[in-house]
């Protein structure tokens, strides 16, 4: 009888412990307690803005979150305003930044005082491409990279204007490398910076600039309406399905095919504020993994020619950022922007 009583006590104790462990697991599973801000370090209409708003919609449609996720634009300073805003939210996990490569480049050429290491890398979602575009009405004879190079060399330096997002970041880096490798030196083009890719495309359509360096997500509506002509891509190979203008025109060649080895891939990922806790980071990693696995996300990335490259917070992600940062440091130094 005594043994049965002791066994009963043991069983009750074990189940009580299991119950406490279960309760502890629930208590430690963090999730947002209030609305979350999706911070866009650029203006409306650009690739980051489109991506942030798509994610907010996807979260709502699939009911993945209990609290609303709200898109907030923080343009300015080539991403510096957005980074500083995130840095000011240290310890508050109700914010995350849609990070472009300017999270790497801007601290390299400014006195910002913070770098990507001062924020919290959450995930690398995908990599974006860059294209060289012109206005077909303004420059109807610019059909190839060779045509553009010939026209630029025939005019005084600075005659032609090229638009891009921000200063001393991805678009300008690509332009300077193009000048160096295709034109023999820098300074041939006048770079005109804008706050977002949507504005960049609009100024090309409006005839205010001659060329631009832009991501497909930022000019597709214009190219499909024959308002923008895609001359070439700064990529390793052509992208199936990406057309020069209308749906019948063949896909654009790479700049490399013209004999100029200029290739660039732009980051599209997520950063949190400093001092995030492990369970808060893991919440977002799991959430973005769920987004990454949806058919809508696959369709979105395919439609905008984004390369899916999901990698969550891990030693591998930090290693990738270290190497990516070194690449940009070398590019900026080579382009004379350090």
What are the strands of the beta sheet with 211-214, ordered from one edge?
190-194, 161-165, 211-214, 131-134, 229-233
3-state secondary structure of 141: coil
**What pLDDT shows up at residue 159?**
98
Contact between 97 and 82 under an 8 Å Cβ cutoff? The reply is yes
pLDDT confidence bin for 43, thresholds 50/70/90 = confident
How many residues are recorded in the chain?
338
Identify how many contiguous H helices and E strands the chain contains and give both numbers: 11, 11
d(CA 140, CA 159): 17
pLDDT, one tens digit per residue, over 45-66 is: 778 898 999 999 999 999 999 9
Model confidence at 44, pLDDT cuts 50, 70, 90, reads confident
Cβ-contact 164, 130 below 8 angstroms = no
Give the dihedral sign, CA 31/32/36/39.
Answer: negative
Give the whole-angstrom CA distance, residue 107 versus residue 105: 6
Average pLDDT over residues 140-159: 96
Q: Give the pLDDT of residue 330.
A: 84
Specify the residue for token string 């996300």.
297
State the angle between helix axes of 80-87 and 102-109 in degrees (0 to 180), rounded to the nearest 10: 100
CB atoms within 10 A of CB 195: 20
Residue 154 CA to its chain's centroid (Å): 36
pLDDT at 54: 95
Q: Which residue has the higher pLDDT, 333 or 97?
A: 97
Residue 303: pLDDT over 50: yes
Q: For residue range 181-225, what is the model confidence (pLDDT) as tens digits?
A: 999 988 999 999 987 888 999 999 999 999 999 988 888 889 889
What pLDDT score was predicted for residue 17? 41
| Range among 18-27, 83-92, 103-112, 161-170 with highest mean pLDDT value | 83-92
Tens of pLDDT, residues 233-269: 999 888 877 777 776 778 899 999 999 999 888 899 9
DSSP structural state of residue 221: H
Phi, psi at 146, each rounded to 5°? -60, -40
Whether the CB-CB separation of 305 and 242 falls below 8 Å is answered with: yes
**pLDDT at residue 154, as a whole number:** 97
CA distances 100 to 1, 78, 181, Å, are 71, 10, 25
* Of residues 159, 150, 196, 156, the one with CA closest to residue 41: 196
Count CB atoms within 10 A of the CB of residue 201: 26
Assign 304 a pLDDT band (cuts: 50, 70, 90). Answer: confident
What pLDDT is stored for residue 270 in this prediction? 97
Q: How far apart are CA 139 and CA 136, in angstroms?
A: 5
Question: Is the pLDDT at 16 greater than 60, yes or no?
Answer: no
Phi then psi for residue 254, to 5 deg, are -90, 155
Q: Which helix (H) or strand (E) holds 29?
A: none
- CB of 194 within 8 A of CB of 208? no
Mean pLDDT rounded to a whole number for the chain: 88
CA distance 79 to 13: 56
Residue 8: predicted pLDDT: 41
Q: In the predicted model, is pLDDT for residue 321 greater than 60?
A: yes
Per-residue model confidence as pLDDT tens digits over 263-288: 888 899 999 999 999 999 999 999 99
- 29's CB contacts (< 8 A; 6+ apart) are 279, 283
Q: What is the pLDDT of residue 29?
A: 85
Q: Does the pLDDT value for residue 1 go beyond 80?
A: no
Question: Is residue 202 helix, strand or coil?
Answer: helix
**Ordered structural domains, the chain, with CATH:** 36-127+266-334 (3.40.190.150), 131-258 (3.40.190.10)
């Amino acid at each position: 009888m005594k043994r049965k009583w002791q066994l009963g006590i043991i069983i009750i104790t074990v189940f009580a412990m299991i119950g406490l462990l279960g309760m502890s697991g629930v208590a430690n599973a963090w999730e947002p307690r209030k609305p979350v801000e999706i911070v866009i370090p650029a203006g409306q209409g650009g690739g980051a803005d489109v991506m942030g708003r798509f994610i907010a919609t996807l979260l709502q449609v699939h009911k993945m979150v209990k609290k609303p996720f709200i898109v907030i634009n923080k343009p300015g300073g080539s991403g510096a305003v957005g980074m500083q805003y995130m840095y000011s939210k240290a310890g508050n996990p109700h914010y995350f930044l849609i990070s472009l490569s300017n999270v790497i480049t801007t601290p390299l050429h400014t006195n910002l005082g913070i770098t990507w290491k001062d924020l919290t890398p959450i995930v690398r979602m995908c990599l974006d491409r860059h294209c060289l575009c012109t206005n077909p009405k303004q420059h109807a004879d610019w059909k190839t990279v060779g045509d553009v190079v010939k026209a630029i060399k025939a005019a005084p330096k600075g005659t032609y204007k090229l638009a891009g997002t921000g200063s001393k970041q991805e678009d300008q880096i690509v332009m300077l490398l193009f000048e160096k490798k295709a034109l023999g030196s820098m300074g041939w083009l006048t770079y005109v910076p804008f706050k977002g890719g949507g504005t960049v495309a609009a100024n090309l359509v409006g005839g205010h600039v001659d060329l631009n360096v832009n991501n497909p997500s930022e000019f597709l509506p214009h190219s499909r309406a024959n308002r923008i002509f895609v001359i070439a891509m700064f990529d390793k190979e052509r992208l199936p399905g990406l057309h020069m203008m209308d749906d019948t025109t063949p896909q654009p060649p790479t700049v490399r095919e013209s004999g100029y080895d200029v290739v660039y891939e732009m980051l599209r990922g997520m950063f949190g504020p400093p001092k995030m806790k492990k369970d808060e980071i893991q919440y977002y990693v799991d959430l973005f993994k769920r987004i990454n696995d949806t058919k809508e996300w696959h369709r979105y990335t395919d439609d905008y020619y984004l390369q899916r490259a999901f990698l969550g917070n891990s030693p591998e992600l930090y290693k990738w950022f270290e190497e990516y940062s070194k690449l940009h440091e070398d590019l900026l130094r080579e382009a004379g922007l350090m």
